[in-house]
Chain A
Amino acid sequence: MLSLLIFLPLVAALLILVLPSRFQQQYKYITLGVSLIQFVLSLFIYLKFNSSSLAAGISKESQYQLVEKLPWIRLNLGNIGSLEIDYFLGIDGLSMPFLILSALVTFVATLASWEIKTKLKAYFSLFLLLNTAVIGVFCALDFFLFYIFYELMLLPLYFLIGIWGGIRREYAAIKFFLYTLFGSVFMLLVIIGLYFSVINPATGNHTFNMILMMDPANYSYGSIFSAIADKNLFGISARLLAFIVLFVAFAIKVPIVPLHTWLPDAHVEAPTPVSIILAGLLLKVGGYGIIRICYSIFPDAAMQSAWWIGLIGVVSILYGALNALAQTDLKRLIAYSSVSHMGFVLLGIASSTTEGVSGAMLQMISHGGLSAMLFFLVGMIYDRVHDREIANFRGLAEIMPQFTAFVIIAFFASLGLPGFSAFMAEAFSLIGAFTSEQVNGLLPRWMAVAASIGILLSAAYFLWTLQRMFFGQTRLKGGEEWLSKLSDVNTREKFALIPLAALALALGIFPSLLFDKMNASVLAFVQLISG
C-alpha cells in the first residue's frame, strides 16, 4: 500500500519521460491523476487507520501499521557482522496525517502548474520525482532509506527552482541546496555512528532500523551513542552532540531563526507550484524529522535542550512576524510568516506535553494547507500581471471580489481566527508550553506568554496587507492594462482553493478529525521522551 503511494508518481514520471513530446499538454493531466489517486489512497488509509492505543507505533515496531519490511542490502562484512539495510516502511499516528497532506498539497501544486509553459517533460517528471521522495520520507522507518528519500528531495527541487524560477533563480537554488546539504552531510555521520552503536537483538547485526534506535537496550555497551556509557566527543556528551547535529539538519528545513534565510529567497524565486510544495510539505519534513528522529532517538538530549528549543521557537515566532511586517513583496511576506508559524511547532514540541505535541502536529498539517493556499493566491496575482509588490495594488476587492473572499479566508485562517485549524493548533501549542512548567518543568511560563504576542503581530501584518492591497479605491500601477488582466478566480483555481479552505475549516471546527487519530501516538511519544 505505502509502496504504491510512493512509487506511483515515479512510474508516472517514467511514463512522462517515454511519452513523445507531442503529448506534452497531457502531462499535467497525468500528474493530476496521480495526485488524485494518491489522495483517494491516503483517504482510505486515514479511514482504515487504527487509532487504538495498541496501534500507537512510535517505539514499538509491532504497533506500526501498513508495515512493509524487506531485506534490501545484506553484505557480509566479516568480523563486524553483516550490513543490514531494510526496505522498511510503516506509519503511525504521527506520520499518517502527512500522507493526506502530501496528496492534497501535490494536487493543489499540480493545479498551479498549469501556468508552467516551458520544458514540460522535464518539469513534470521532476515534480513527480519530488513527490515520491516526500512521501517516502514520511513512510520510511529505516534510517538509511529515510536518508535516501531525504536527499532525493533536494535534487528535483534544485532544478525546479533553478530552471523555472524567477530572475535570481540560480542564486536561490544554489543557496537552498547548499543550506540543506550542509545540514544533511553531518546527519550522515550521525547515522553511521548510530549504525555502529545499535544492534538488532533478533539477528545480532548492526542495523539502520529507526525503531530499534529508540530503545536504549539495543545499544551495544561502550558504543559511541550508548546512553549508559555516555561517551564524550569534543568535550560534550556524544548523544547531545548527535542530537544537536540532527536537530540543526532538520531545523534548517523547518526553518528556525537564524537558519532561515534560504527560505525567503527560495520562495520569492521559486515558481508558484514549487513554493506550494516547499511551504506545504518540505518545511513539515523538518518538523516531522525532529519528532520522529531527534526526539525519539535522543530523548535524553532532547530534554536537556528543551529550554533552548523553546527559546528558538519563541524567537522564530516573534522575529519571523516582525520581519513579515516589514515586507513590501507579498510573497516574501508570506515566506516570513511561515517562519513565524513554524515557530509554534518547535514551541509545542519543546514543551513535551500532550497538548503541546498535539498542537505542533496540528499546526504542521494546518500550516501545510494554509501556506499552500496563500502561495497559490499570490501566484494567481503574479501570473496575471507579473508583479507582487504590495504598494502597486490597491482596492483589489472591487475588481476581484471572489479572489478577495479567498484571501480573507486564507489570511484570517492564518492569523488564527477560531473556527480555522491554525487557531486550535496555536492555542494548544501555547497551552502546552504554558503547562510545561507544571508538568515537566521544561519551559518557563514566560515563553508561552511571549509567543502569544506573535498572534497579535500576525493579525497586524495580515490585516495591514489586506487593507493596503484589497480595500480602498482601486488603484493599480499597471492601470487599464492590469485591470483587464486581473480577472477573478476561474474554475481550476477554485478546485485548488476550496479543498484547502475546507481542510482548514474542518480541522478548526472538528479537530477530533486529527486529534483522535493521533492521540494514542502522541501519548506514546510523550511517554517515550519523558521516559
Chain B
Amino acid sequence: MEGLEFSGFVGIISLLVILLPLLSFLLILAGQKGRGADLALINISLTFILSVYLFSLLWNKQPFHYQIPWFLIGGIEFKAGILLNNLTVLMMILVSGISVLVHIYSRIYMKGDPNIHRYWAYLGLFCFSMLGLVISDNLLLIYLFWELVGFSSFLLIGFWFTRHAASQAAQKAFIMNRIGDIGFLLGIMIIFSQFQTLDISALFGDNGLMKESRISEGLWISGSRQIPEVWLSIAGIAFFMGAMAKSAQFPLHTWLPDAMEGPTSVSSLIHAATMVAAGVFLIARVYPVFDPFVLNIMVCIGAFTAFMAATIALTQNDIKRILAYSTISQLGFMVMALGIGAYSESIFHLATHAFFKCLLFLAAGSVIHQLHHYRDKLGLDFDCQDIRIMGGLRKGMPIAFIGMCLASAALIGLPLSSGYLSKDAILITAFEWAETRNGIFKILPYLLVLTSWLTAFYISRLVFKVFLAQPKLISREQTEQIKDAPNQMSYVLIILAFFCSFIAFSYNPASFESSWLWNGFSSASIQKVNIYHWLVPLILNIGSLGLLFTTYKIYVKSDGISIPDRNLLYRFSKREWYLNEIYSYLFTVPVEKFSRACYWFDRNFIDALVLKSASLVGVLSGITYWFDRTLVDGLVNATGTLAKWIGRFSRNFQTGKLQHYLITMLLVVLSFFILTYFI
C-alpha cells in the first residue's frame, strides 16, 4: 500500500469512476443525442469495472486518503480529496453495479420516448453525483454532491415535465430535501466554527478532533474554541435532519411516494436503491458527532418511520406507492439500527435492501411496461399501476413473478434470503440493546417485530393481487397474452434475483455473523450468543409465514377483504396519515399567505411611507412656494409699491409753482428748528 505512485494511481482511478458518468452527461447534452444509450451504458460499465477493481484493492485494507488544495480563506486551507474505506468501496460497487443493471433495463423500458437522450444524460449526472458523494473526503464536498444528487433526482422525477403531477412531485422533492440540506449546512457551520476544518478523517478519525474534544461545565471544548454544550446536540440533530430528508424519514418523508411520478427505472435506482441510502451513508460518515441524546432521537424516528410507513403500505393500491412506502419503512430500520449503534448491521441491510428493492421495482416496472403495451394495443383505458385491476399475471410473466417472489421473501426476511440475514441482525441487536434500556425504548423492538409482520402482509398482498388473484379487468385468457418483458429486461431481473439470496452475502444462511459484508464493518469479532439469536428469527418467521398463508387465503382464494370506507383506521392509512393535508395546512398555505401579507406590507406600508414622505416634501414645497409668493415676493413687491407710492406722493410737491416750494422750504426749516429746540 505504499508509494506515491500507488496513491496517484488509485486517485486517478477513483476520479475516473466519478468522471465517466459526468462525461456521458456532458457529451449527450453537447449533441451526442443518437448515441446516448450506448454512451451511457459504456461509461457506466467502465465505472463499474473500475469500482470492482478498487473494491478488490481496498476492501478490508488501510483506508486510502488523497487530497489536493482546493482554496484558501484567511489562514484556513480547504482541500478536496478522496477518502476510500470499506464503506466507500462498498457503496461504489453498489451504486455503479445497480446503475449498470438499470441502464440495461432502461434501454427497453424507456424505448420510444422522444426525449430519451435527456434521460441518459440525467442518469449520468446522477451517477456522477452519487459516486462523488461517497468518495468525498470532506463535508463541504459531500454537501456539494449531496445537493447535486437532489438536483439530478429533481430532473429525473420531473422527466415527464408536461405532466402536472410530475413537475409538482419534482418540486416537492427538492424543497423537502432543501429543508434537510439546511440542517446539513447548519451542521457544517457548527463543526467548522468549532474545529476550523471539514476534513472527515481529521474530524472523525480514530484520533480525530471530535474524539479529542471534551465537554466540561456545560461547554463543548476543542483546542481554544468553545461553544455551549447544547450545540453538540444541535449539530447532531442538524446532520440527522439532512439524513432524514434524503432517506425519507418521518416527518420529511412525504416527497418519496410522490417521487414515483418519475420513470420506474429511476424510482428503482434512485428512490429505492441508492440516493435514499445517502442519508444512512451520511449518518455513518459523521457518526462520532452524535451524542446519546441524538442517538435516542434517531432510534425513535427510525422505529416510528418504519412502523408508520408499513401501516400506510397496507392499504395503497398504486403498485409503486406500496413499494415506496416499503422503502421508507426499510430505511427506518436502517436509521434505527444506526441509532442503537448497530453500525455494521445497518450497512449490511442497506446493501441487501438495495438489491431486493431494486428488483421489486424493476419487476413492477416490467408489469407496468407490459400492461402499457397491452393497453395501447387494444386501445383500452385503465391505470397501469393500480393493483386492483391486475391479477393472474403469473402465467404470462413467470420471470417477473419469480423475481418479485424472491425479492419479497428477502423483504419479509424469510430464511435463505439475504433479507433474513440483515433484517434479523438488526432485530436481534435491537433486542440486545433494549435489555439495557428503560421505558419506551423497551417496547421499540416489539414495534419492529410488528412492523416486520405488517411488511409480510402488504408485500404478499401486492404479489398475490398482481400475479395470482382473479383478473379483474379482463378475462383470464387475455391476461395470459400479457407476456414477460423483452429479454434484456428479464436478464436484469434474474441477476438481481441472485443477489436476493443468502449466497451473495454469506456462506451460512442462518448466521449474519459469517457474512463477509457484516464482518467488513464490525469491530467486535466475538460471536455474541444469546437467546435472541434463535428466538427472534423463529418468532418472526412463524408470524410471517402465518400471515402469508392468511393473505393467500384472503386475496387468492376469496375476493379480498371488504373494509367499509368509513373505517377510521383504514382511512387513516389510505390517506397516508393525512400528513400531506397537515403540512399543507400548517406550512405551505401559511407561508404563501404570509408572503402575500409581506408584499402587501411592502407596498402599502414601506413604499407608502416613501411616497408619503415624497408627498410631504410636495406639501412642504407648496408651503414654501406660498411663502415665497406671498411673503418674500410680497415683501419685494411691497417695497416696490412703497417706493412707487412715495414717488407718487412726492410727485405732488413738484408742482412748478414757486409759492408751494417756498412754503415747503419754510415748513422744513421751521420743523428743523422746532426739532433742535426740543432735543
Task: Enumerate chain A interface residues (CB-CB to B < 8 A).
Answer: 175, 178-179, 257-258, 260-262, 319, 322-323, 325-327, 353-355, 358, 395, 397-398, 412, 417-419, 423, 427-428, 430-431, 434-435, 438, 445, 448-449, 452-453, 455-456, 459-460, 463-464, 466-467, 470-474, 510-512, 515-516, 519, 522-523, 526
Q: What would 11 A/B residue contacts be, using CB atoms closer than 8 Å?
A: A175-B610, A258-B606, A261-B607, A323-B598, A326-B599, A463-B174, A467-B171, A471-B158, A471-B166, A510-B71, A519-B74
CB proximity of B244 to chain A, nearest CB, Å = 15
B188 x A431 contact (CB < 8 A):
yes
B225 x A395 contact (CB < 8 A):
no
Instruction: Identify which of B34-42, B85-93, B141-149, B204-212 touches chain A.
Output: B141-149
B71 x A511 contact (CB < 8 A):
yes
- Give complex CA distance A327, B596 in Å: 8
- Give complex CA distance A427, B171 in Å: 22
Q: A-facing mask of B376-412, CB < 8 A → 1, else 0?
A: 0000000000000000000000000000000000000
Interface residues of B in 609-624 (CB under 8 A from A): 609-610, 614
Closest residue of chain B to A428 (Cβ to Cβ) is B73
Q: Lowest 7 A-B CB distances belong to which pairs? A: A354-B74, A471-B167, A512-B71, A418-B144, A326-B599, A325-B595, A435-B193
Interface residues of B in 165-218 (CB under 8 A from A): 166-168, 170-171, 174-175, 178-179, 181-182, 185-186, 188-190, 192-194
- Give complex CA distance A99, B164 in Å: 44
Q: A-facing mask of B134-171, CB < 8 A → 1, else 0?
A: 00000010011111100100000010011110111011
Known A261-B606, A417-B148, A456-B178: A515·B599 in contact at CB below 8 Å: no
Known A322-B594, A456-B175: A355·B186 in contact at CB below 8 Å: no
Task: Enumerate chain B interface residues (CB-CB to A < 8 A).
Answer: 69-76, 140, 143-148, 151, 158, 161-164, 166-168, 170-171, 174-175, 178-179, 181-182, 185-186, 188-190, 192-194, 225-227, 231, 591-592, 594-596, 598-599, 602, 606-607, 609-610, 614
A434 x B151 contact (CB < 8 A):
no
A residues near B614, Cβ cutoff 8 Å? 175, 178
B162 x A325 contact (CB < 8 A):
no
Partner of B182 from the list A262, A452, A523, A526 (CB cut-off 8 Å) is A452
Partner of B161 from the list A262, A471, A516, A522 (CB cut-off 8 Å) is A471
Interface Cβ pair total, 8 Å cutoff = 150
- Give complex CA distance A466, B146 in Å: 22
A512 x B595 contact (CB < 8 A):
no
A326 x B595 contact (CB < 8 A):
yes
- Give complex CA distance A430, B189 in Å: 7
A residues near B194, Cβ cutoff 8 Å? 438
Partner of A515 from the list B71, B226, B591 (CB cut-off 8 Å) is B71
Query: What's the dominant secondary structure at chain A's contact region?
Result: helix
CB proximity of A502 to chain B, nearest CB, Å = 14
Closest residue of chain A to B174 (Cβ to Cβ) is A463
Taking each of A325, A397, A464, which has the highest tally of chain B beta carbons within 10 Å of its own beta carbon? Answer: A325
Partner of B74 from the list A260, A261, A522 (CB cut-off 8 Å) is A522
Query: What's the dominant secondary structure at chain B's contact region?
Result: helix
Partner of A434 from the list B146, B174, B193 (CB cut-off 8 Å) is B193
Partner of B598 from the list A326, A467, A523 (CB cut-off 8 Å) is A326
- Give complex CA distance A327, B598 in Å: 11
B185 x A430 contact (CB < 8 A):
yes
- Give complex CA distance A455, B182 in Å: 8
B189 x A431 contact (CB < 8 A):
yes
- Give complex CA distance A423, B143 in Å: 10
A419 x B148 contact (CB < 8 A):
yes
B73 x A434 contact (CB < 8 A):
no
CB proximity of B154 to chain A, nearest CB, Å = 8
B residues near A471, Cβ cutoff 8 Å? 158, 161-162, 164, 166-167
- Give complex CA distance A511, B162 in Å: 36
A472 x B225 contact (CB < 8 A):
no
B residues near A456, Cβ cutoff 8 Å? 175, 178-179, 182
CB proximity of A52 to chain B, nearest CB, Å = 13
- Give complex CA distance A470, B162 in Å: 9
Closest residue of chain A to B192 (Cβ to Cβ) is A431
- Give complex CA distance A448, B74 in Å: 20
A419 x B144 contact (CB < 8 A):
yes
A residues near B168, Cβ cutoff 8 Å? 467
- Give complex CA distance A175, B140 in Å: 43
A residues near B179, Cβ cutoff 8 Å? 456
A residues near B140, Cβ cutoff 8 Å? 427
B175 x A453 contact (CB < 8 A):
no
